[in-house]
Chains A and B, each alone.
Chain A
Amino acid sequence: MGEFLEFDNVSRHYGDIRAVDGVSLAVRKGEFFSLLGPSGCGKTTLLRMLAGFETPDAGRVFLDGKDITAQPANERKVNTIFQSYALFPHLSVWDNIAFGPRIAKRPRKEIAEDVEKMLKLIQLSDQAWKKPDQLSGGQKQRVAIARALINKPQVLLLDEPLAALDLKLRQRMLIELDLIHDQVGITFLYVTHDQGEAMSLSDRIAVMDHGKIEQIGTPAEIYEAPRSSFVAAFIGDTNFFEGEVDEIIEGEYSRLEIEGFPPVVCFNDKQLVDGVPVFISIRPEKFRIWREKPDLDWKHTVVKGTVEDVIYLGHSTKYWVRVQDYRIAVHRQHHRFLLDEKPIRWHDDVWLSWHADDGFMLERYREADEQLMETPPEKVGEAQGRT
Chain B
Amino acid sequence: MNRSRVPLYTTLAVLLFFYLPIVVLVINSFNASRFGGTWDGWTLKWYAKLFTQRDIWLALKNTLIIAVGATAGSVVLGTTAAFALHRYGKSRLQRVHYSLIYTPLVVPEILMGISLLLFFVAIGAELGLFTIFLAHVTFCTSYVAMVVLARLQDFDFSIIEAAQDLGAGWWTTTWKVLLPLLAPGIAAGGLLAFTLSIDDFVISFFVAGPGSTTLPIRIYSMIKFGSPPLINALSTLLLVVTFTLVALSQRLTERRRA
Alpha-carbon distance A73/B164, docked complex (angstroms)? 6
Q: Which residues of A contact B121 (CB under 8 A)?
A: none
A183 contacts chain B at the CB level, 8 A cutoff: no
CB-defined A-B contacts under 8 Å, sample of 15? A51-B161, A73-B161, A73-B164, A74-B164, A74-B167, A74-B168, A80-B162, A80-B165, A82-B162, A83-B158, A84-B158, A86-B158, A87-B159, A99-B176, A103-B166
Q: Which residues of A contact B167 (CB under 8 A)?
A: 74-75, 100, 103-104, 151
Alpha-carbon distance A362/B176, docked complex (angstroms)? 54
A168 contacts chain B at the CB level, 8 A cutoff: no
Alpha-carbon distance A51/B166, docked complex (angstroms)? 10
A334 contacts chain B at the CB level, 8 A cutoff: no
Alpha-carbon distance A80/B165, docked complex (angstroms)? 7
Q: Would you call A99 and B166 a contact (CB within 8 A)? A: yes
Which parts of B132-177 form the interface with A (CB within 8 Å)?
Answer: 156, 158-159, 161-169, 172, 176-177
Q: Would you call A79 and B166 a contact (CB within 8 A)? A: yes
Q: Which residues of B contact A51 (CB under 8 A)?
A: 161, 165
Instruction: List the B residue with the shortest CB-CB distance to A73.
Output: B164
- Cross-chain contact of A88 among B164, B169, B177 (Cβ < 8 A): B177
Over the window 69-98 of chain A, the binary record of Cβ atoms lying under 8 Å from chain B Cβ atoms (1 yes, 0 no) is 000111100111011101111100000000
- Cross-chain contact of B162 among A52, A75, A86 (Cβ < 8 A): A86
Given known A-B contacts A82-B158, A84-B156, A90 and B181 have beta carbons under 8 A apart: yes
Known contacts A74-B166, A86-B156, A90-B181; 5 additional CB pairs below 8 A are A73-B164, A74-B164, A84-B158, A103-B172, A148-B166
Given known A-B contacts A51-B165, A74-B167, A79-B165, A86 and B172 have beta carbons under 8 A apart: no
Separation in Å of the A47 CB from the closest CB of chain B? 11
- Cross-chain contact of A147 among B161, B166, B180 (Cβ < 8 A): B166
Over the window 26-56 of chain A, the binary record of Cβ atoms lying under 8 Å from chain B Cβ atoms (1 yes, 0 no) is 0000000000000000000000000111000
Instruction: List the B residue with the shortest CB-CB distance to A83.
Output: B158
Chain B contact residues, CB within 8 Å of chain A: 156, 158-159, 161-169, 172, 176-177, 180-181
Specify the main secondary structure of chain B where it touches its partner: helix
Alpha-carbon distance A30/B164, docked complex (angstroms)? 24
Q: Would you call A88 and B162 a contact (CB within 8 A)? A: yes
Q: Would you call A53 and B181 a contact (CB within 8 A)? A: no
Alpha-carbon distance A51/B161, docked complex (angstroms)? 9
Q: Which residues of B contact A53 (CB under 8 A)?
A: 161, 164
From B156, B165, B167, name the one whose CB has the most chain A CB atoms within 10 angstroms.
B165
Alpha-carbon distance A148/B193, docked complex (angstroms)? 40
Separation in Å of the B137 CB from the closest CB of chain A? 29
Q: Which residues of B contact A86 (CB under 8 A)?
A: 156, 158-159, 161-162
Given known A-B contacts A89-B181, A90-B181, A103 and B158 have beta carbons under 8 A apart: no
Q: Which residues of A contact B180 (CB under 8 A)?
A: 90
Across chains A and B, which 10 residue pairs bring their CB atoms closest together, nearest first?
A86-B162, A100-B166, A86-B158, A103-B167, A73-B164, A82-B158, A74-B164, A80-B165, A86-B159, A90-B180
Q: Which residues of A contact B158 (CB under 8 A)?
A: 82-84, 86
Q: Which residues of B contact A79 (CB under 8 A)?
A: 165-166
Q: Would you call B162 and A74 a contact (CB within 8 A)? A: no
Separation in Å of the A79 CB from the closest CB of chain B? 6
Q: Would you call A73 and B165 a contact (CB within 8 A)? A: yes
Q: Which residues of B contact A99 (CB under 8 A)?
A: 163, 166, 168, 176
Separation in Å of the B153 CB from the closest CB of chain A? 15
Separation in Å of the A341 CB from the closest CB of chain B? 58
Q: Which residues of A contact B156 (CB under 8 A)?
A: 84, 86
Alpha-carbon distance A53/B158, docked complex (angstroms)? 10
- Cross-chain contact of B166 among A83, A84, A151 (Cβ < 8 A): A151
Q: Which residues of B contact A104 (CB under 8 A)?
A: 167
Given known A-B contacts A82-B158, A88-B159, A103-B172, A74 and B165 have beta carbons under 8 A apart: yes
